[in-house]
Every structure is written in structure tokens, then in C-alpha cells.
A and B are shown apart, each in its own frame.
Chain A
Amino acid sequence: MDRRKFLKGVGVAGVVSLAGCTGGPDESTETDGENQSDQQQGGTGTDTTSGNESESTGTDSTDGGSGDGSDVNVGMVYATGGLGDGSFNDQAQTGLNRAAQDLGVSFNESEPSQVSEFARFQQSFAQSQDPDYDLVSCIGFLQAEALTETAGQYPDQDFMIVDATVDADNVANYLFAEHQGSYLVGQMAGLLTTQEFAAGAGETNPEETTVGFVGGAEGSLIGKFEAGFTAGVKAVDSNIQVLSNYVGGSSPFNDPTAGKAAANSMYNNGADIVYHAAGNTGTGVFNAAKEQGRFAIGVDRDQSVTKPNSADVILASMVKRVDTAVYNSIEAVVNGNFEGGANTTLGLEQEGVKVVYGDQIGGDIPEEVKTQVSDARQQIIDGGIEVPTDPSNV
């Protein structure tokens, strides 16, 4: 029947073209049709996709900055959690926006949804001629493998990567001493779980001295958070139990359902404070804390501000100034002193990591707890406390 064949054909064509539309930014490396996150949104944002911009003539398709003469272009490849995670990626964007405002740089952003897409986005920025990107920012340790290859292929392109070390002359590596900041929130959690404390919508469990840690993907990076946190807790009292869980799966940093299940299981086991290092998965941790009337500790940004609905259970956040790394690298490019191959570690001393108490309930935390935390901070800076980076060494 003709009509039937016609419709079948239309159906197939529709599916294929739909898949095609959502393909990669670069026509030469078009692969599967499973991603649709290549639209970008610059600060002032038109929504041309990055696919068009290698062909576009004339001015920049998305100009993030107000532009005061600086002709520096920055390509940004976010981590898989995507913008709106209220932590890691949003923090990176803050730095980018600040650079656009202060330094007048232009930028383009891309949000890969899968690890397999990193290489494609990095390359499309690297090979783009119009605009010619002066720096490609890669956020997240999962990009390291792809960047090792991309950096080798484009030796004239400058890259920066956050959270990982790529051994290449054209890559600036920015690392954070997450274990140091995590130690401090661990100390706070340890001090609070051993006392009766209630604030906002949460309270500690006086019968148990247990705290929890929810990580995204298991590995050396998130291991630093866990190691620091556990060490901080144990420094208060080695009898405090630290439950630890890694969400894993196909989207470890963007799976709030799994994060909620993991945190719930900890709260059910007597934990009263759960620290997470899992990007948007942490939304589920906060959710569980609210439901159970317990506490949580945020990560990367002041999450009592970025997740205002959960502000009544967020005691503090271990802020990681990814924005500083992004900003500094852009500034270096603008000033012409970009140093490829350099490793920069931002720790407590450089304020690369720090503890920010919750916007809403942070004020209720007893002063002596805060004093001990700031004492510990000073000791770490002075070298009096050596914080482990591997959870198996705690």
C-alpha cells in the first residue's frame, strides 16, 4: 500500500534527520545522534549552535562578553553534569562570565552530555578558524584522556584543564587541594555529630556518631574528597563511623535519584551529616536530608545559595574556586603570559578551596566548632597537619 510505504519512509527519514540534527558540532566527525546538548548559551546568548560557527562568516556567533577591545576568544567545554548543576559547572561559568566582564573576552560554551563527546567538542574548538580560539578550557578530570590526544593533535592551540594533569606543552593544569577543604568540613561534621545540635530543618542523631560521604565516580579525584573528609572526622574522634558510597553508573555526577537512594541509606543507618562530592547527584542528597530531617554538606559552590530550597539542611559547603582557575588562565592569555605545561595547585592558602557556612543555618553552628575548624585550617597551611589524598591511607 502506497500510503503505508510513504509514511514508513517519512517515519524513517524523520528519525534519521532528527538524529542528524542533534549530532555533533563538527560535520566531519559526525557520529551518533544521541546528544543534543551542543547548543550553547553565552552570557548574552543568541543560540547559534557551534556546528554553524565553523562555517559562519563575519562576526562571532555568540558573544558572551561586552567586548571592550580585547579580541581574545575562549572555548569552554563543561563537564558532563551540565550547566544548572548548582556546583561544578556553574562555578566554572562564573569565572568565565567574570573574565568576559572584566577582561572583555568573548567565549563560546559547550556542554557535552557524555564522556565520549569530550574529544569532539575539544577538537571543534581547536580547529575552528572563525573565531580562532586563543584558549580552550576543559572542565573536569574526565576530559584528561581526550585532551591528551587533542593537545597532541593541535600543538599550536592553548588549553587549560581543571582537576587533572595532562602532560603537554600547550596545556596549563589547574589542580585543587580538595582534601584540605574536605578535611575542614569533616572536622565540622565530626564535632557536630558528637553533640546534640538542631538548626533549620535538621537535627543530629544523638544516639549514633555516624556521618556519610557520597561520591560520584570512584577514582583519585573524588578519593581526595573522601580521604580529606574521613581524616577530618577521625581527627575529632576515631570512633566516629564514616559511611562512604560512590554512585557510579552511566551518569555519576548527574543522577539525583541514585544520590537520594545512597544518602537515604546512610541516614537510615544512623548518619546525621552527609557530605557529597557528586555534582548534581548531590541534589538527591539534599532531598534525602530534608526528608529525613538531617544535615548535608555541599560542594564546589555555596550550595545553600545555589540550592535555596535545601538551605535549611545545608550546614556548609566546601567551595572549590573553579572560577578562579578559569579566570586566572584567561587572564594569563590576555596578558600574554600563558604558561603551557605548568601545574598550578590551589589550596587553602590560595583560597582555592575553603569552607563556607550555610547561608541559612550556618549561623547556628556553635562558635567553638568554627574556631576549631579555622584553627585546623591554619595548621594545614602551616604544615602542622598533613591531609591524606587517598582514602585507603586514612
Chain B
Amino acid sequence: MSEATADAGSGESTLGNTDGRLLIAGGVVGAFALLFVVGTLFPDSTVGTLSYLLLQPGPWSSMLTLAVPITLAAVGGIFAEKSGVINIGLEGLLIISAFTAIFAADTTGSLWVGFGAAILASVLLALVFAVVCIEFRADQIIAGLAIWLIALGFAPFAARIVYGSPNTVSLTNSVPAVRHAGIPVVSPVFQTLSTTNALGPAQALFRASPSVYLMFGVVALGWYLLNRTNFGMWVRASGENPKALDTSGVNVHRVRYAAVLLSGVFAGMGGAALSYNIGQFTGSGQTMVNGKGFIAIVAYLFGNYNPVGAMLSTFLFTLLEAIQNPLQTAGIGVPSDLIGTLPYIGVIVVLALVGRTRIPEAAGDHYETGEDR
């Protein structure tokens, strides 16, 4: 990539090019509005059932829970890719942390230790990836695939050694929803709000497990870090024009290390949240992560490297997954395999037709201080 094109992108606003996405967001809102209008007019039709179901908190609750690992991994992926390191090993980071969370929590009996160990395991794996990519200049895609395959092989293998099967045992303790956690003042308030029917779907917000609030926190933190701090500026510069960053006296390698390790931290939280939700790690086949790391990549591309955008696009995907259950019980079958492919179809449409996702200029390239490029 030439320097000239690298400069062309530097005038971009912090939110990126949003018009294409606004179109999609508008389209989604419009579709919902239409759905509710038609649903109200014809309550007995399929659309009527659908709009009725969407007014219940249940699907929204599921949507939030399902979105947690994907969104957290996506925010991590944004940092890595914005700094110029394409981290397609997110899936692997989720797998390793999902397993480690259960293993450590089961061994020590403490969910907090499990959570910390999960983040640590994910960061260590991300460190391997960072060293290979940044220090030894390996191809990022190949290294990322290796990270995924290592985790995909290692986690079920470790589970088999420890538990005698690719599935771990179920934890005896679980993370309670905030409303059941017995926190003074907060829990009763949440309990009341979560059963106030007047709130409609918003009740879901108060039924969630702590991981959902963690997700909101990380998204806000991610957005702030990326757009309002020096570190965020460095990360973006390191991905767009590392030479300029280097010239201004910032060590590009260190910025990239920090960004990749940060992706490890966030993905680690996501993996722990995923397995804590069930209290078990299932390791056969594609493991319980089952492509969530890849959907995370899709989600942040869809969201144009904006953590908020990534979260909203994740919501779109997981709502489709969540609504499928009540639809099926209501007698409207939607094949789950089809739902599973929608994120990928969506991203192709967005990348090809809307075409506003601009990959950081230097993403995938190595940067060597002092090297004449």
C-alpha cells in the first residue's frame, strides 16, 4: 500500500463514514415500525405473532445474553485491527478463555478466579499471536488461523485430560442475575423493574446477568479509549500511518502489542461470560464457541470499527437467533441453520453494496522502525 492512499483516509471523522450504515439502521427501524403496524392490523397473521413476540421481554433478554461474547470479542478485535494487526484468532481466544474459566472456577471454587484466569489465558495466547506477528513478522492471517486451531485442539484435549471427555463438568455455583444477587437497594429495584409490564421489552434490561452490564461498560470504555484518548489516537495512527506515528516519537510496536493484548483481555471476558452462562464448557465439534469469534469479526466490520456499531450489529444477529425460539413454539418454523448464515450474508451485502467499511490502511502490514519503505 502506498503512502498516498494512506494519507487519503486521514481526514476521516472519528465515527467513520456513517451514511451507509444510517441507511441500514433506518431500514431496520422502518422494518420494525412496519412490522408493528401490520401486526396490529392483522393480529392473527404471522406478522402479528412476530410483533406480539417482539413486545415480550423474553427474546430481548436472550438477545442480550447471546450478544455478550460476540460483542466483547468484537471490541477486542477493533483495537487489534485498528492498530494494524488483523486478529482473526478471536475465535481461539474465546475458546481458550471459555475453557479456562470453567477449569479454574471448578478447581478453586471461585468464579472470580475463573474469570481472572480466563482473561489471563486469553491474553497469553494473544501475546503469542502478537509476538509472532509483530516481532517475527509472520503473516497475520496464518498466525490468526493457527491461534484458532491451537485453541480448538487444546481446549477439548485439556478437558479430556482433566474431565475424561471434551465436555467439562457443570459448575456448582453460577453467576446470579443482578436482581437475584441480593445487593442492597440495587437488586430490589431491578426486581421491581424487571417485572413491571408497562416497560414492555425494556424489562429485559433488568433481567440480565452481570455480564450484560459488563458488555455495555466495555463498549463504552472501548469507544472512549479509541476516540477520546491519546492511546486511541496512537492505535488508529498505528493502523493508518505507522510511519507518521513513528516519526512523532511513539513506538509503533508497543502500541500494537498493547492493542493486541487488549483484544485478548476483552475476548477473555467474552469467553468467560459464554461458559459461565451455562456453567459448563462443551468441547466437541466446533466447541461451544461455534463461530462466535468469526461473527465478532463480521460484527465490527458491519459496525465500521465503532464499538457501539459493533454491539448494535451483534444485537441484530442475536435478535434473529433469539426470536427463532418463540417463533418456533408459536408454530412458525424458521430453520436455525439459515439464521446461522445471516450474519455472513449480511456482511457481504454491507461490504459489497454499502461499501463503506474502510479497513485501516496499514492493517496486515508489518512495520519496522527505520526501515525504508
Contacts and interface: CB of A to CB of B under 8 A. Distances in A.
B316 interface: no
B370 interface: no
Given A243-B329, A261-B66, A248 B336 contact: yes
Contacts of B270: none
Interface string B186-220: 00000000000000000000000000000000000
Interface in A65-110: 80-85
Interface in B304-346: 321-322, 325-326, 328-329, 335-337, 340
Contacts of A7: 132, 136-138
B280 interface: yes
A39 B150 CA distance: 17
A15 B156 contact: no
A84 B164 contact: yes
Interface string B165-188: 111111110100100000000000
Contact residue range for chain A? 35 or more
Given A84-B165, A113-B284, A265 B58 contact: yes
A284 B157 CA distance: 22
Contact of A291 (B160, B177, B326, B329): B177
Contact of B156 (A37, A245, A255): A37
B139 A8 contact: yes
B295 to A, nearest CB: 13
B66 A266 contact: no
Interface in A221-253: 243-251
B139 to A, nearest CB: 6
A268 B284 contact: no
Contacts of B290: 250-251, 255
B111 to A, nearest CB: 14
Interface in B123-182: 132, 136-139, 142-143, 145-146, 149-150, 152-153, 156-157, 160, 163-172, 174, 177
Interface stretch (B37-45, B114-122, B232-240, B271-279): B271-279
A265 B326 contact: yes
B325 A8 contact: no
A60 B137 CA distance: 47
B139 A18 contact: no
A120 interface: no
Interface residues of B, number: 58
A394 to B, nearest CB: 14
Contacts of B229: none
A269 B288 contact: no
Contact of A266 (B143, B153, B329): B329
Given A19-B149, A264-B58, A251 B285 contact: yes
B8 to A, nearest CB: 28
A11 B146 contact: yes
A256 interface: yes
Given A3-B136, A256-B278, A264 B170 contact: no
A111 B160 CA distance: 12
Contacts of B280: 256, 283
A85 B278 CA distance: 14
A247 B160 contact: no
A310 B285 contact: no
B57 interface: yes
Contact of B137 (A4, A111, A251, A284): A4
Contact of B153 (A36, A41, A246, A287): A36
A22 interface: yes
Interface string B50-87: 00000011110110011000000000000000000000
Contacts of B326: 265, 268-269
Contact of A111 (B149, B163, B166): B166
A257 B57 contact: no
A370 interface: no
B282 interface: yes
Contacts of A332: none
Nearest to B323: A265
B142 A15 contact: yes
A113 B278 contact: no
A41 B160 contact: yes
A250 B136 contact: no
B329 A265 contact: yes
Nearest to A10: B138
A14 interface: yes
Contacts of A266: 329
A251 B142 contact: no
B286 interface: yes
Nearest to B291: A250
B165 A309 contact: no
A34 B172 CA distance: 32
Nearest to B171: A309
Interface string A255-278: 111101110111011000000000
Interface string A277-316: 0001001100100110000000000000001011000000
Contact of B157 (A8, A36, A248, A249): A36
A64 to B, nearest CB: 13
Contacts of A262: 325, 328
16 contacts: A4-B137, A14-B146, A15-B146, A22-B153, A39-B157, A41-B160, A82-B167, A85-B167, A250-B286, A250-B337, A251-B285, A260-B277, A265-B322, A266-B329, A287-B278, A291-B174
Interface of B: 56-59, 61-62, 65-66, 132, 136-139, 142-143, 145-146, 149-150, 152-153, 156-157, 160, 163-172, 174, 177, 274, 277-280, 282-286, 288, 290, 321-322, 325-326, 328-329, 335-337, 340
Sort A-B residue pairs by CB-CB distance and give the 7 closest, nearest first: A84-B165, A268-B58, A248-B336, A265-B325, A82-B284, A84-B167, A83-B165
Given A8-B139, A80-B285, A269-B329, 8 more contacts: A11-B143, A83-B165, A84-B166, A249-B336, A256-B280, A257-B278, A261-B66, A261-B325
Interface of A: 1, 3-4, 7-8, 11-12, 14-15, 18-19, 22, 33, 36-37, 39, 41, 80-85, 111, 113-114, 212, 243-251, 254-258, 260-262, 264-266, 268-269, 280, 283-284, 287, 290-291, 307, 309-310
